[in-house]
């Protein structure tokens, strides 16, 4: 229930950050200005005693986030991939949130499995380990199927996780509503819609049957992609609170030293991660939307193993084309093209000046090109982008939230492997291939054929429609000014019928 009782939850959030020392650590990492530090101190210090104590053995920010609950951990996971935003030290501290949280007892996991699958664990698996990884929502056990000896990963939801997430998200909804009421200027960012989107994503993670379906679909989409592997789900050993998949063997992508010691080319892996994400987003419109290091491994042969499909992103074909055009415009430093695409797609209100918007985009893009990638401040770049969106009244588009967030995360993963990586140069071949296949003459012909096929499907309905509507149209005594319109309607019907019939014949001929 999104009532005022959530004020208490938000106060405890600030108090927990103050009590654990996370407030100062976070402000230091973000280089917060003096006035922000003073305000945080004044607001946090009196309530510090109300905060959660957390685990004293953990670093301050990690200690605060883990004490506050799973929804906060999700945000911490995102920050852990951005050493260029929060600093290397804090990013390293937060990396434990990806898969090294405190596990719950193995016996509880066994009880959950037996309840969900209806059989004792010993009847399903000849081996069943203690937790090998634990994250905000679930933990993973290594096991071996008793029927065929195959090694598998068994993922089990944390006890009571559904209620914990509901409480956190309830407080987020309340905070978003308060922000919109107290600061009307923030409404263009649609904070309540953003939280609703986050809620829908989390709810999907809490049903492991949906994750199994996502893994299956993603594996089918990427069957022909070289240099990657996807663990397949084992359906009869999965349920709402349990998911069994192939075991993903490899070195965790977070262990850079081990990857280097094994002889892997870190620069190549970083490039491959970025290009895989872009290819899946643009080509398929269906992509892994939680590609932090905790969900990636590198196999002995150099393949990138992608797993944990709790959060997936999906974008329609039109949005993919817009996104590709924007990326291509930045890559080619054609800021007028980028601005025009934003206006044509309705991302920027039409009463704004397109030339001025193009100049603002130039100020965002130009510092990237020709600069040493390690010297580019992503924090400053994101801050300036935020200023641009505010100045031009751009509303937050919830359908792009996962895409934008994942882009930031994936770039962070790639940069952890190769600090000199240039996202734009790496993206160029993937985006160019997509544009060639989807925005050129071949794509136009394919779109026309698809439209004709749709008309062809409705062709059998045209005779009945014409018989029913033609007499009514012909009996109407419209004024002369309307006569051309009626003629146009009739002509359009006849033309549409002709196109539909032609499409049916073409379909038969092509088939």
Among candidate residues 99, 168, 170, 290, the one labeled active-site is: 290
Q: Which of 52, 55, 58, 50 is nearest to 25 (CA)?
A: 58
Q: How far is CA 233 from the centre of its chain?
A: 21
Q: How far is CA 225 from the centre of its chain?
A: 20
Does residue 156 sit in helix, strand or coil?
A: strand
Contact 188, 394 (CB under 8 A): yes
User: Which position has the token pair 């990690």?
Assistant: 62
Contact 418, 270 (CB under 8 A): yes
Instruction: Report CA dihedral (376, 382, 384, 385) to the nearest 10 degrees.
Output: 120
User: Which position has the token pair 């379909």?
Assistant: 507
| 55 given a catalytic annotation | no
Structure tokens at 85: 């935003």
Integer Cα distance of 41 and 35 in angstroms: 10
Mind spelling out the 3-state secondary structure of 283-318?
HHCEEECCCCHHHEEECCCCCEEECCCCCEEECCHH
Integer Cα distance of 223 and 220 in angstroms: 5
Phi and psi angles of residue 246, each rounded to the nearest 5 degrees, phi first = -55, 150
Structure tokens at 475: 């009996």
Contact 352, 378 (CB under 8 A): no
Q: Which residues are catalytic?
A: 290
């Amino acid at each position: 229930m999104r009532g005022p009782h959530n004020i208490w939850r938000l106060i405890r959030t600030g108090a927990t950050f103050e009590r654990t020392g996370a407030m100062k650590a976070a402000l230091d990492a973000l280089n917060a200005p003096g006035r922000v530090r003073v305000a945080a101190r004044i607001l946090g210090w009196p309530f510090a005693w109300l905060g959660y104590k957390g685990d004293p053995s953990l670093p301050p920010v990690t200690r605060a986030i883990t004490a506050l609950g799973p929804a906060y951990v999700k945000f911490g996971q995102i920050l852990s991939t951005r050493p260029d935003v929060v600093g290397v030290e804090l990013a390293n501290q937060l990396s434990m949130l990806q898969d090294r949280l405190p596990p719950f007892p193995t016996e509880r996991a066994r009880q959950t499995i037996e309840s969900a699958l209806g059989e004792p664990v010993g009847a399903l698996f000849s081996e069943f380990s203690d937790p090998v990884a634990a994250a905000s929502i679930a933990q993973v056990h290594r096991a071996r199927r008793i029927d065929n000896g195959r090694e598998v990963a068994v993922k089990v939801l944390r006890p009571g996780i559904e209620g914990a997430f509901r409480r956190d998200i309830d407080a987020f909804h309340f905070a978003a509503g308060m922000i919109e009421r107290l600061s009307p200027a923030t409404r263009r960012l649609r904070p309540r819609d953003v939280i609703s989107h986050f809620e829908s994503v989390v709810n999907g993670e809490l049903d492991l049957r949906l994750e199994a379906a996502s893994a299956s679909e993603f594996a089918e989409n990427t069957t022909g992609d070289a240099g990657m592997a996807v663990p397949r789900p084992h359906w009869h050993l999965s349920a709402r609170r349990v998911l069994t998949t192939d075991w993903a063997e490899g070195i965790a992508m977070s262990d850079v030293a081990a990857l280097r010691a094994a002889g892997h080319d870190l620069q190549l892996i970083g490039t491959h991660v970025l290009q895989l994400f872009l290819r899946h987003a643009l080509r398929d419109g269906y992509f892994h939307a939680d590609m932090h290091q905790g969900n990636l491994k590198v196999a002995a042969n150099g393949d990138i193993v992608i797993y944990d499909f709790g959060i997936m992103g999906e974008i329609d074909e039109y949005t993919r084309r817009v996104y590709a055009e924007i990326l291509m415009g930045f890559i080619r430093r054609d800021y007028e093209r980028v601005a025009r695409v934003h206006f044509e797609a309705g991302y920027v209100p039409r009463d704004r000046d397109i030339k001025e918007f193009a100049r603002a985009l130039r100020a965002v893009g130009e510092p990237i090109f020709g600069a040493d990638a390690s010297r580019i401040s992503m924090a400053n770049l994101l801050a300036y982008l935020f200023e641009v969106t505010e100045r031009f009244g751009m509303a937050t588009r919830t359908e792009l939230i996962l895409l934008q967030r994942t882009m930031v995360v994936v770039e962070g993963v790639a940069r952890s492997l190769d600090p000199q990586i240039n996202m734009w140069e790496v993206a160029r071949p993937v985006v160019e291939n997509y544009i060639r296949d989807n925005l050129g003459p071949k794509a136009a012909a394919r779109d026309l054929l698809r439209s004709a096929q749709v008309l062809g499907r409705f062709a059998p309905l045209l005779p009945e429609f014409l018989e029913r509507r033609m007499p009514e149209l012909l009996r109407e005594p419209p004024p002369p000014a309307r006569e051309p319109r009626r003629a146009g309607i009739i002509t359009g019907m006849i033309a549409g019928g002709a196109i539909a019939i032609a499409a049916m014949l073409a379909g038969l001929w092509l088939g």
